[in-house]
Amino acid sequence: MEVATPTLEGDIERAGASIHYEVYGDDGPTILLLPTWELVHERVWKMQVPYLARHFRVVVYDAVGAGNSSRPLDPARYTFGHRVADAIAVLDATGTDAAVVVGYSMGGEIAINLVAMHPQRVLGIVSISGHHPWVVPLSERTPDVPYDPVANPEPEGWGKFDFDYWQRDWPDFVEFFMSQVASDPHSTKAWDDLVEWGLDQRPDVLAWSITDDYDELTVEELRRRLETLEVPTLLIHGTEDHITSFASSRVMQEIIRGAELLAVEGSGHAPQVRYPVRVNHAIRAFADRIFGTTRLDGTWWVGPGRAQSVLYLSSPIGLGHARRDLAIAQELRALHPDVRIDWLAQDPVTRVLAVAKERLHPASAALASESSHIEHESGDHDLAVFQSLRNMDEILLHNFMVFEEVVAAGEYDLVIADESWEVDHYLFENPNLKRGALAWMTDFVGYLPMPSRGPREAAVAADYNLEMIEHVERFGRIRDAAVFVGTADDIVPDAFGPGLPRIRDWTEEHFDFSGYITGFDPAALGEKAELRERLGYRDDERVVIAAVGGSGVGASLLRRIVAGAGAAHR
């Protein structure tokens, strides 16, 4: 599910093609997210739009030839002159006089052409892994044996970058190319997304889109203008980029006066996907220097005084979390009567908290719904849990960015995170953002693949588990306490994956065990006979109890059980 909903979207016609655009936010200074190479559409910005749109007005559009824009089979329509004119048309259609312009890969080349031709419309440039006419070539991109339909019909590596081969085996090229884009370790979800988007494209359209044609602006004139302009510029580039060399951004830094270079050590071609927190913060900090105060600055609620304070995060996927978390909060207050507990939570947990008259942090309203995502993924009653969690990447990042802004105010001594996977994951990815003690709780550790889903899911699950193990081994200090809710007997005896530790052994080494936390005393329900009488069951009546977890996710399954009760009885 997408986190952000556009406040405005539309289509404009220009030079024989339609261009689809979306606007997020009604007012405020504008960031224009440019399209990249037509192999993918505007969803390549999915990890940036929700965060940036909470601070700025964001405009994004599909390039001609991609996504919801039209796809003319005319090479003359894919020149950089047209690409710049398309960007200007989108700015005009959205009532945007000027914007901070962000480009990724080929989008970086559009950005420098845009500022060279229309400097009054560009307040600043952020170029991520930017391509340009003066790139430093990568020797690895020269194939050892070029594609030949007779002599080499199944090329290896960059031999697949051949227009004729695309017509022969488009999926093979897309999968190879995206492996070079998402080359960072533990990038399986990025690769899956990129391949899905790439397969939606047509090879003939992509072939026409590759051009060095700058129309009326020659390469020499482009460089001359860039060398004389004074435009704030931030270059973000991974040092292990396999598409556009890192050295290429050093060249651009020399061309544009005052350009800053943020080197993302060890990253490949898509740092905004693999390291979105770092890139999002960099874009916002850059834009803030240009725009000044943004609309959310200073709006977070600050609790009174400096009593010991706790921020409590409770997973909305299954109300069992809310019940046990309330019990923990009550016990914490018994031990520390002066402690202040604020909750960063979402529906349906918020309904439970309201009944208990707990304090809800107002930033909770900005969280994206995890429960709605799971319900959407589950259909009637079929849920591939591991894949659903992977597909929640956009939501989890958004919710972490909200959390990070809350704790940045420095009001909390302790964060208790009950299966708040986004907090755990992104703090390990960004250990510099840890601002206080963290108590991490969960009732399961590691992912196991469904055998029916084949070897790909098995490999991906093992990769996720390996990443988690590496996180804990390298930055164990992130979790000040790690609590497994249950006992060691609840943990499956399987391994995390081939060559990886056994889940139970590893968990016993890295977690404390709390036992069961029910949130109520079962003895208070009375004896079985007493309970049957209170519920109106006869002594000789046979009762079938159907219990389905997962908050609202199980509603449709419960309805099916009720509907089938008569047939089962017969």
Average pLDDT, integer, range 400-415: 93
How big is the CA angle at 31 (ends 29 and 34), to the nearest 5 degrees? Answer: 160
Which amino acid belongs to residue 414?
A: L
CA distances from 261 to 127, 169, 226, 250 (A): 10, 38, 16, 7
CA distances from 452 to 384, 449, 455, 456 (A): 11, 9, 9, 11
Task: Please answer whether residues 24 and 77 qualify as being in contact, where contact means their C-beta atoms are separated by less than 8 angstroms.
Answer: no
Burial 459-484 (b: 16+ CB within 10 A, else e): ebbbbbbbbbbebbeeeeebbeebbb
Which amino acid belongs to residue 106?
A: M
Minimum mean pLDDT among 207-216, 275-284, 384-393, 496-505: which range? 207-216
Q: What strands, in cross-sheet order, belong to the sheet with 309-314? A: 359-360, 340-344, 309-314, 414-418, 437-442, 481-485, 512-515
Task: Please answer whether residues 316 and 347 qualify as being in contact, where contact means their C-beta atoms are separated by less than 8 angstroms.
Answer: yes
Choose between 410 and 299: higher pLDDT: 410
Q: What strands, in cross-sheet order, belong to the sheet with 30-33? A: 8-14, 17-24, 57-61, 30-33, 99-104, 122-128, 233-238, 260-264
Q: Which tokens go with 35?
A: 């399209």
Q: Is the CATH number 3.40.50.1820 carried by domain 8-137+217-291? A: yes
Average pLDDT, integer, range 325-344: 96
CA distances from 431 to 434, 435, 440, 475 (A): 6, 9, 15, 8
Strands 8-14 and 260-264: unpaired
Q: What is the pLDDT of residues 133-160, one digit of tens each?
A: 999 999 999 999 999 999 999 999 999 9
Q: What is the pLDDT of residues 221-237, one digit of tens each?
A: 999 999 999 999 999 99
Distance separating alpha carbons of residues 2 and 545, to the nearest angstrom: 37
How many beta carbons lie within 10 A of that of residue 36, not counting itself?
25
What's the whole-number average pLDDT of the chain?
Answer: 92
Continuous H helices in 17-123? 49-53, 80-93, 106-117
DSSP labels, 224-272: HHHHH----EEEEEETT-SSS-HHHHHHHHHHSTT-EEEEETT--S-HH
**For 309-515, CATH number?**
3.40.50.2000
Average pLDDT, integer, range 37-45: 97
Q: What is the pLDDT of residues 266-289, one digit of tens each?
A: 999 999 999 999 999 999 999 999
**pLDDT above 80: residue 304:** no
Distance separating alpha carbons of residues 97 and 547, to the nearest angstrom: 58
Q: Using CB atoms within 10 Å of the CB of residue 192, give its burial: 0 to 12 exposed, 13 to 18 middle, 19+ buried.
A: middle
Task: Please answer whether residues 296 and 268 qualify as being in contact, where contact means their C-beta atoms are separated by less than 8 angstroms.
Answer: no
For residue 299, the model assigns a pLDDT of 45
Task: Please answer whether residues 278 and 286 qualify as being in contact, where contact means their C-beta atoms are separated by less than 8 angstroms.
Answer: no
**pLDDT above 70: residue 300:** no
Contacts of 222 (CB under 8 A, 6+ apart): 112, 113, 116, 133, 214
User: Given this chain, do its domains 8-137+217-291 and 309-515 carry the same CATH topology?
Assistant: yes
Contacts of 545 (CB under 8 A, 6+ apart): none
pTM here is: 0.92
For residue 303, the model assigns a pLDDT of 54
Half-sphere exposure of 358 (CA within 13 A, CB side): 31
Q: Using CB atoms within 10 Å of the CB of residue 292, give its burial: 0 to 12 exposed, 13 to 18 middle, 19+ buried.
A: exposed
For residue 554, the model assigns a pLDDT of 66
Average pLDDT, integer, range 249-260: 98
For residue 560, the model assigns a pLDDT of 79
For residue 298, the model assigns a pLDDT of 47
E strand segments, 15-167: 17-24, 30-33, 57-61, 99-104, 122-128
Domain boundaries, the chain: 8-137+217-291, 139-208, 309-515, 527-569
For residue 136, the model assigns a pLDDT of 97
Distance separating alpha carbons of residues 308 and 319, to the nearest angstrom: 27
Choose between 552 and 315: higher pLDDT: 315
Q: What is the pLDDT of residues 101-133, one digit of tens each?
A: 999 999 999 999 999 999 999 999 999 999 999
For residue 317, the model assigns a pLDDT of 82
Distance separating alpha carbons of residues 200 and 65, to the nearest angstrom: 11
